[in-house]
Amino acid sequence: MNRIYLIGFMGCGKSAVGRRLSFLLKLPFYDMDKEIVRQTGKTIPEIFEQHGEKYFRDLETQFLQNFKNDYCIISTGGGATMRKENQKIMRNTGLVMFLDAPFREIWRRIHRDPNRPIVRQSTREEIEALHKARYRGYKQTAHITIRTEFRTLRQITQYAAFQVNRLKSERFDLN
């Protein structure tokens, strides 16, 4: 088990933490959404508009199944954890860290982002309901939950690095 997966709702900081954690741990970083865009040649909104959400979720599963790099950090899409198959792949191939941010902070970050198709098509109440519905899946999948409220990006990243280093000698082979 050599990968580090960052999971959580859209806007919780997975990509930002992943980039910084990559630097600290000297491991390559992959953003699942950006890799899917690169592989398909389409933006996330284009994929949703042309093929629908199920197709996009299938692409996320294929990414997890076929990804070759063992020693890396991967920030997942916000909905990737909702499939049991994805949960199993992540838990069996790496350390899963849930970045747990309060909804009010997430909403502040995402509500005007044109690259989030679900946000563009939904009300705040609908997004909050989605957050609540996904929360349990994040908790079930995670080996470690990192509360992000009242912490800086630097503090979150340093805590994640501390947890990885602490676990290196135990169950996880992250050398």
* Sequence ranges of the binding site for Mg(2+): 15
Residues in the chain: 175
* Binding-site residue set for substrate: 33, 57, 78, 134
* Binding-site residue set: 11-16, 33, 57, 78, 116, 134, 151
98 contacts 104 by C-beta, under 8 angstroms: no
Residue 146 DSSP class: E
φ, ψ of residue 65 in degrees (nearest 5)? -70, -35
Query: Where does residue 171 rank: exposed (0-12), middle (13-18), buried (19+ CB within 10 A)?
Result: exposed
| CA separation for the pair 76, 132 (Å, rounded) | 18
* Binding-site residue set for ATP: 11-16, 116, 151
